[in-house]
Structure 1
């Protein structure tokens, strides 16, 4: 629009139009010819059509930009939501991992306790076998036949005790095996 006004002003200046229309009329000055006015009007029409075209293309570009911004905002929201879900999943995994680690620690402690118990039982069994063997030898060598009856009964009781001890040992070994299997399952 400013260009049209500048063009109009330049045309008026070239044709010698004075600052006051009355002075130019009184002075008998030349008015702009109809061809000049037509050319000027044609230029104004062309200029307004160009402005209209620029307005429409700018409006279309703004619509595309706004659509792109809208898509970008929805993508950012989706990524934010995905990030929140990933963080929540990570927290859940960490909690489960801590729980599994605590269970593993408890199982290891129980295995160590059972190993200690098995070792203690094995030592007691070996000691009992040693004592039993020693008692049998002492009995056979030093006690007369009439006293041997109750001693043999005691030896039988000791053998039963050793048998029971062996069964307990087997139970403990089975429990250790079950614990080891549980540990393997938790590691997977």
Structure 2
């Protein structure tokens, strides 16, 4: 292609050199261009063809480079699309986990409330039982001084039962505090994910 363009330019240059305007005389004068002008013209044509060749090669290299860049960008775009699809899937899974955590939190809160109510009743019953035991001890001490030993043994049994109930109550309190901490942690996780 470049050589065809070069030949076309050279042919054009020769026509320009040999095309001399005709004078309106009866004689036709043909003057050949001096050799120096032909040389300058040929040098210009050669330089022009070299410039065209350089521009062609440069443009071809740039097109190759652009083609490679486009191919690379297409690969990166496909990778980005894949990552976007994965991110959407992860987001969907996270929403499902959040919903599950929220459901667990609701259940945990309900259990905690039930346990707190039960514990409050147990504490109330413990106080009432202690009061009854003290009244019984007083009544027994006043009414049946002969069987005080038996009554003391029963009172000790009641006291040991009360101690067991106290330990159980403490255990339930700790359990409730642990559940409250878990609920707070779950709620923070849920708030952070929202």
List alignment gaps of at least 5 residues for structure 1: 19-26
Deviates more, 1:121-130 or 1:56-65: 121-130
How far did residue 136 of structure 1 move?
4.2
- 1:106 equivalent to 2:103? Answer no
Q: 1:55 to 1:73 in 2, by over 3 A?
A: same
For 2:172 and 2:118, how far apart are their aligned partners in 1? 12
Equivalence for 1:180: 177
Count of aligned positions? 175
Deviations 1:90-143 (A, max 9, x none): 444444344334334433332222221111112122222323333444455457
Structure 1's 33 and 165: CA in aligned 2 closer, same or farther, altered over 3 A? same
Counterpart of 2:21? 16
CA contact (8 A) 1:111 1:179 kept: yes
Which residues of structure 2 form unaligned runs of 5+?
187-194
CA apart distance, 1:58? 0.8
Structure number, greater radius of gyration: 1
Deviations 1:61-101 (A, max 9, x none): 11112222222333333333334434443444444344334
| Cα RMSD, aligned residues only | 4.4
SS in 2 for 1:30: coil
The 5 Å alignment of 1:45-124 reads: 45-124=46-125
Greater RCO (Cα-Cα under 8 Å, separation 6 or more): 2
Q: TM-score, normalised on structure 2?
A: 0.60
Normalized against structure 1, the TM-score is what? 0.61
